Amino acid sequence: MIAHSSQFSPQEYLSLEQNSNLRHEYRQGLVYAMAGNSDDHDEIMLNVIGLMREKVRSQGCTVRSGTVKVNYADDFFYYPDVFVTCDPRDQGDRYIKRYPKLIVEVLSPSAAFDRGEKFTDYQKLPTLEEYLLIAQNQIAVECRRRLHLGGWEREEYRDPEQTLVLRSVGLALPLLSLYRGVSWLPPQ
């Protein structure tokens, strides 16, 4: 990610974003242009949305894709690949959500940022229960869960026969279902 060279206020960022053909993320005054994604990245993201959508709707929640921002105070505005919100306070703004319970990132070359600074930022969201990181070039999924007494636990899934359990939304997904249609797996 390459940041614009000057500091932006959150209001300047939102104005830039409203008038731009490109998407940008904002972190502590810096604005980053977002790179395009591969078709495998997109396939995984769409699989996750498709697998979750009806289940979370039945719970009064919504699934959003990488075109709606998640925000915390004036610290950051990110476009997670997929997220779920169940909080009625998120119904008031069609473009920015502040109370997600699950965030999913499909890992790209910026994987270190998703695992590091972005996760540090996401932990500030009091409603966030799970953070899911999905590799796009191999079967590898990492789920980070907020513990009731503070801190986070980490669980990895690498066996194609495993079932991913998302406690935040009460959903169990066969790991291979996340990777259906990617270019490097034979058709199922």
Q: What is the pLDDT of residues 151-182, one digit of tens each?
A: 999 999 999 999 999 999 999 999 999 999 99
- The alpha carbon of residue 188 and the mean position of all alpha carbons in its chain are separated, in whole angstroms, by 26
Phi and psi angles of residue 9, each rounded to the nearest 5 degrees, phi first = -80, 160
Q: For residue 5, name the pLDDT band (cuts at 50, 70, 90).
A: low
Number of domains in the chain: 2
Taking only the tens place, the pLDDT of each residue in 70-104 is: 999 999 999 999 999 999 999 999 999 999 999 99
CATH code (residue 146): 3.90.1570.10
Within-domain flag for 65:
yes
Q: Which domain holds residue 20?
A: 1-34
pLDDT of residue 186: 85
- The alpha carbon of residue 4 and the mean position of all alpha carbons in its chain are separated, in whole angstroms, by 23
How far apart are alpha carbons 115 and 19 in whole angstroms? 30
pLDDT of residue 61: 97
Residues 128 and 48 in one domain: yes
Residues 108 and 157 in one domain: yes
Within-domain flag for 76:
yes
Expressed in angstroms, the distance from the first to the final Cα of the chain is: 35
Identify residue 71 by its one-letter amino acid code: N
In sign, the C-alpha dihedral spanning 147, 54, 42, 99 is negative
Give SS3 for 88.
helix
Residues 17 and 92 in one domain: no
Residues 51 and 5 in one domain: no
Residues 27 and 101 in one domain: no
- Residue indicated by tokens 């990492």: 142
- SS3 readout for 143-175: EEEECCCCCEEEEEECCCCCEEEECCCCEEEEH
Q: How much of the chain, in percent, has pLDDT values that exceed 90?
A: 82
Residues 42 and 25 in one domain: no
**Global pTM?**
0.93
How far apart are alpha carbons 2 and 36 in whole angstroms? 13
Residues 42 and 131 in one domain: yes
